[in-house]
A and B are shown apart, each in its own frame.
Chain A
Amino acid sequence: MQDDNPLGALALNFLILSLLAVGGATAVLPEMHRQVVETAGWMTDAEFARAFAVAQAAPGPNILVVTLIGWHVAGVTGALVATFAMCAPASILAYVVGGVWHRFRHAKWRRAIQVGLMPMTVGLVAAGGFLLAEATARSYGAVALTLSSMAILLFTRISPLWMLAAGAAAGMLGLA
């Protein structure tokens, strides 16, 4: 699908994703991947994984992967449109709900929502990681890098930035 007006498609995609992103941007990564790589064909698998990596390596919220996708598709305008679309609906909802939430802090339905959404979020984020791992698994070295990065970040408290730096070093040495 090569749309005549990628800005409109960009905006529409991310407006919808914004409201589906329960558990954060990482939870909609598989859907983002599907739309950007498979449906719209705006980026290749590897470009998508690389954009995600750049957003991780840069400071700030990791939602900035959306900024990079927008920039890739339609330059600075695309970056602004995509970021705004991804942020606006969720922000408006947060603003509205933020005031109400305190009042029901002991309500059973509020606890049920929190407890119930957790395992779904775990599954969504794990699926996002799995798809990224597939996209980056161009060698056994890359797979080993993914697995060791996962294990080290699970069991230690070192900053994720060290793992990204180690990944860069390993890649440069031809190990990934």
Chain B
Amino acid sequence: MPRDPEPAPDAPARRSDPGGHETSGHETSGHERAGLAPPPSLAALFLGFLGIGVIAFGGVLPIARRALVEKHRWITNEEFTELLGLSQFLPGPNILNFTIVLGSRFHGIPGAASAFLGLSLVPMVIVITLGWLFDRYADIGAVSNAMAGVAAAAAGLVLAMAGHIAAPLWRNPTLRASAIAVATFLAIGVFGVRLPVVMLIVAPLSVALAWRALP
């Protein structure tokens, strides 16, 4: 799988077991668990996601895929893609949704909590420390110039992410999807319409149009 930060939201979900909290991770049929490690303990979940969080620079999902599918073998690649599709559809940060759903499949609410804390505790401390350092030394010209450069590059990073999310659109451009993307961009970015207003209008419209376009 390519290292796209945001693989296609409509990527196929090929997993075939019925779902449910705390069950589907380890009560699936034998062949689906073949090649996978036993379900992780709470501590292993915490440590596994800790290892993902502290090395995940500029996008957690690619790192998470490598760790969960290839290194720990807790889930298959297909399960990963399916969980990712769900995480992208739900509101909230994708990686957060992903962590909650995966943790809860193994151990319910405690599992979700360990995975979440593992992922975010150490990065939270790091980011506050960095923020404090930059605030403290912002008076030094070189530091504030460097941060301005980082901020400009980070803006480019977000624009590129939009391009990556649009992957299905590049492959199969439709007037419907292009018009929705452009209209959303103009409404928010140029005309400053408030997000809830845009979402209340655009989301139902776009889903309805997609429904009509589906076979």
Contact = CB atoms under 8 A, between A and B. Distances in A.
A binds B: yes
Interface of A: 16, 18-26, 28-31, 34, 46, 49-64, 67-68, 71-72, 76, 79, 83, 86-87, 89-91, 93-95, 97-103, 105, 108-109, 111-133, 135-138, 142-143, 145-154, 157, 159-161, 163-164, 166-172, 174-176
A171 B85 CA distance: 37
A34 to B, nearest CB: 7
B40 interface: no
A56 B157 contact: yes
Contact of A101 (B86, B145, B162): B86
Interface in B78-114: 82, 85-97, 100-101, 104-105, 109, 112
B69 interface: no
A120 B199 contact: yes
Contacts of B9: 114-115, 117-118, 121
Nearest to A83: B124
A55 B211 CA distance: 37
B177 interface: yes
A132 B210 CA distance: 30
25 contacts: A18-B91, A21-B93, A26-B158, A31-B196, A58-B123, A61-B53, A71-B131, A86-B92, A87-B116, A91-B96, A95-B100, A99-B104, A112-B207, A117-B207, A119-B166, A121-B9, A123-B180, A127-B185, A145-B153, A157-B2, A164-B150, A166-B149, A167-B146, A168-B147, A176-B152
A50 B151 CA distance: 6
A102 B19 contact: yes
Interface string B156-198: 1111111111101100000011101111110111101011100
Interface of B: 2-3, 5, 8-10, 13, 15, 17-21, 24, 53-60, 82, 85-97, 100-101, 104-105, 109, 112, 116, 119-120, 122-124, 126-128, 130-132, 134, 142, 145-166, 168-169, 176-178, 180-185, 187-190, 192, 194-196, 199, 202-203, 206-211, 213-214
Contact of B181 (A50, A97, A120): A120
Question: Which residue among B2, B87, B122, B150 has the maximum number of chain A CB atoms within 10 Å of its CB?
Answer: B150
